[in-house]
Structure 1
């Protein structure tokens, strides 16, 4: 709540005019007239291969009913279904008078032919210069007979919630369509990818708007419309645009190299929650916890260890995993910089030379061991923290399908009422480290848990391996369900 303040001075009285927000525009006609020639429709064609009429869509042979005459059977089995053309529509905009067009990657993905249609109806075949599926951006090239009218990017970092914007595109193939609204939110993470940083708007965005521009009132592109949130497929007032800052970075790389060049450290990371922060002596949860380090990659050479929490990179504070992903991706490959980690209750600075992410680099997918109906007959188990943990030997490795070189103790049972179950620890998971101790036997696991309790920590940190993935889980040091 804001309270008015009155200020009086002897002999002089000044009435200060309150700061007023910009009024709603009277209309958008002048702006639309200015930008419309730079917005294009995009038509794509994909050839769906022909098949034998006796084949199903999945390529398997259809079985004909018995009793059909041989003539009809032969005709059916030899008849070919010709290739079919699948068509799709999207939007885009011109960024260079020579014929460079921006759109979404998903608009042109798998297309055999791409046609750009100008606002005046002119059609031109387009070449895909480069695509980036991680940010869903594609750059097209057309050859116009005369220079095209291009638009400029605006400063998306200066964008404020509540600002007026307009979206222009090709919804449902209807051609140049304009909708207006405001910026509803910025820096949205919608779990679409590792670099989520969307602008949310209530300007109507529908199917076919993909790849079209989001304009500010000064006629500059502030975002590329990409995603809608809807249970029906139609506009419900929640649309998302890729911010201009990110688009410009991607477009520059696609124009120069045909692919985006991103920085690379070579670490697996996870979010730091309050329980994990408590277990490692952090007052507040922040940064990105390193779950594993790829041998020989930049982080490994810099001395980063599993269990470190990266709290700064290249002079920037790292709030969470998403902030680290974006900061590293933006870093130039080969550049020497510094990262700061939280280790053993204190900050430690490390020098690192940023690597380059491979074009096909992906985070490994956890191979979650299947739940077994019987428990291996093993000796040497320990019950603690809501878990029963056993030694890894030939028997448990075979029965629970554990990785060959995995070390630690394997979880054979999880108390369904325990915090461990709530945090999704599963039977077949491997506990590789407890606190700051690497463990290989149930006895070492018990000793590490006891040491954690004696240290006064309210939580104990476990490094868990599941298939080829690693994660850290913090559990209460003295759960009610611990067995004596």
Structure 2
């Protein structure tokens, strides 16, 4: 009996020892799988904490709650741009006796110095938008609504509304529109700073004129610039994802798995114009500041540090002179004498490494941080000079070099045109068979000076919308930005004439080198 008990105990001990050795051996084997070619068997430092209980690789993710929360607040936007008649801007200097026979398609009009008339057909387009308040404010892309004469919004419940433009911003490609009503569903803001590479995200929108569509992907890069925005002082610091985004998704929502808005889908990297692997969204931390400015002031309050910086990486010699490490900092190539940086002591040759304690290594990262502030705000700028690190407070300025609040007021816009404007006399309007318009009595300078327009021109339309008075012209210009089209007549001459006009042109610095 005693021998039998000893045998049983021996079997138990051997079994236990075998189990322990098996677990230990498996653990060592697993470490080698994750340790690559390292002979020590230790995990690389970048895997620190990876297998901790709280940081273990996540299991399957369920997107249903996030998708259910977001889809009612993402809308389908359809726009219509009326047909336009444009000419070559040449006044008639003589009448072709055959013009009555040929009409607007007169092939001999050039011989008589007359305008060549061309008709641009009606255009229709669609995109997406995101409701951000229960009273109907909607974020979308500027390129979705720019130049549109009519904007219609359809919710996921199939209810449709007419929308008006509150304001647009070319530099960020964002716009705010509004529908009338109450108790609309809307998305809550998340925090795009918290996004991490590899994190799951969902794109919600109306691609290819389909009903509301949800696609999933991961964050594949942050602070990405793809040079798609050609406006001056363009802001590009995109969230790059591999969630499928197609034409029609523009202006739609990028959300996290909590259903929070973390970006506005804006662009596709594709040789065909359709999804080919990558899509780009404007971070919500940039978006909400721009949207708040548009709603509050009618214009974006954009602050500038007042530096010029290199788009390409600094040379080894430049880094060595400043005592900077590889990959750190933005090389300052110039400091305008009237800028905010100059007043704060920043010099050419410095390397800016942080904005308010947040590390920045590229131009897009710098833009993303500075875009969150308005002129007059103080930001802490950390820079390296001669191997030493300094931090200074910079009071941001606007593009005009001061800290004034910029409001998109009609009087300011009309002054920007640089002409003496007046509502056309009723007798002149009747004689020229027009309902009204704005006569340009004199061109003093400003934006009008850059066109081929001559004094005496009567503006009758802006971007295809009729204009009868100076106030109506001001109202239309208030909600416009970027390039617009002015149309009208010269009294005594036949035909209509069109002049492209860039509202964002005067006095702005070139994009890419300045902040």
TM-score, scaled to structure 2: 0.58
Give the 3 Å change call, closer, same or farther, for CA 279–211 of structure 1 in structure 2. same
Q: Secondary structure at the match of 1:245?
A: helix
Once the two structures are overlaid, the 10-residue window that deviates more, 125-134 or 185-194, is 185-194
Q: 1:159, 1:349 → 2: CA distance?
A: 27
Q: Secondary structure at the match of 1:161?
A: coil
Corresponding position of 1:250: 290
Corresponding position of 2:155: 118
Kindly report the root-mean-square deviation, in angstroms, between the aligned alpha carbons of the 2 structures: 3.7
User: 5+ unaligned residues in a row in structure 2: which ranges?
Assistant: 1-32, 36-40, 43-50, 92-96, 110-115, 401-405, 408-508
Q: Secondary structure at the match of 2:371?
A: helix
Corresponding position of 1:129: 166
Give the counterpart of 1:278 among 296, 308, 320.
320
Corresponding position of 2:145: 108
Contact conserved, 2:162 with 2:179, CA < 8 A, in 1? yes
Q: What is the CA-CA distance between 1:70 and the residue it aligns to?
A: 7.7
Contact conserved, 1:164 with 1:216, CA < 8 A, in 2? yes
Give the counterpart of 2:238 among 176, 198, 217.
198
Q: Which has the higher strand share?
A: 1
- 1:380-459 equivalence runs, <5 A: none
Give the counterpart of 2:77 among 42, 67, 70.
42
- 1:75-474 equivalence runs, <5 A: 76-77=105-106, 84-144=121-181, 146-192=182-228, 195-270=235-310, 271-284=313-326, 286-344=328-386, 346-348=388-390, 350-358=392-400
Q: 2:281, 2:258 → 1: CA distance?
A: 18
Q: What is the CA-CA distance between 1:170 and the residue it aligns to?
A: 1.4
Q: What is the CA-CA distance between 1:59 and the residue it aligns to?
A: 5.8
Q: Secondary structure at the match of 1:125?
A: strand
Give the 3 Å change call, closer, same or farther, for CA 236–60 of structure 1 in structure 2. farther
The number of residue pairs the alignment matches comes to 344
Q: 2:54, 2:339 → 1: CA distance?
A: 57
Q: What is the CA-CA distance between 1:207 and the residue it aligns to?
A: 0.4
Q: What is the CA-CA distance between 1:88 and the residue it aligns to?
A: 0.9
Contact conserved, 2:329 with 2:362, CA < 8 A, in 1? yes
Q: 1:93, 1:354 → 2: CA distance?
A: 30
Q: Which has the higher helix share?
A: 2
- 1:65-80 equivalence runs, <5 A: 72-73=101-102, 76-77=105-106
Note the alpha carbon deviations across 1:95-153, whole angstroms, 9 max, x for none.
11110111111111122222211122222111211222222211111102x42111212
Corresponding position of 2:34: 2
Note the alpha carbon deviations across 1:18-76, whole angstroms, 9 max, x for none.
954333346x555434332211100112234224xxx6xx5679xxxxxx988743574
Q: 2:192, 2:175 → 1: CA distance?
A: 19
Q: Secondary structure at the match of 1:330?
A: coil
Q: What is the CA-CA distance between 1:205 and the residue it aligns to?
A: 0.6
Q: What is the CA-CA distance between 1:83 and the residue it aligns to?
A: 6.6
Note the alpha carbon deviations across 1:426-449, whole angstroms, 9 max, x for none.
xxxxxxxxxxxxxxxxxxxxxxxx
Contact conserved, 1:277 with 1:285, CA < 8 A, in 2? no
Q: What is the CA-CA distance between 1:188 and the residue it aligns to?
A: 2.5
Q: 1:150, 1:319 → 2: CA distance?
A: 35
Note the alpha carbon deviations across 1:210-256, whole angstroms, 9 max, x for none.
00112222222222111111111221221111222222222222222
Give the 3 Å change call, closer, same or farther, for CA 18–177 of structure 1 in structure 2. closer
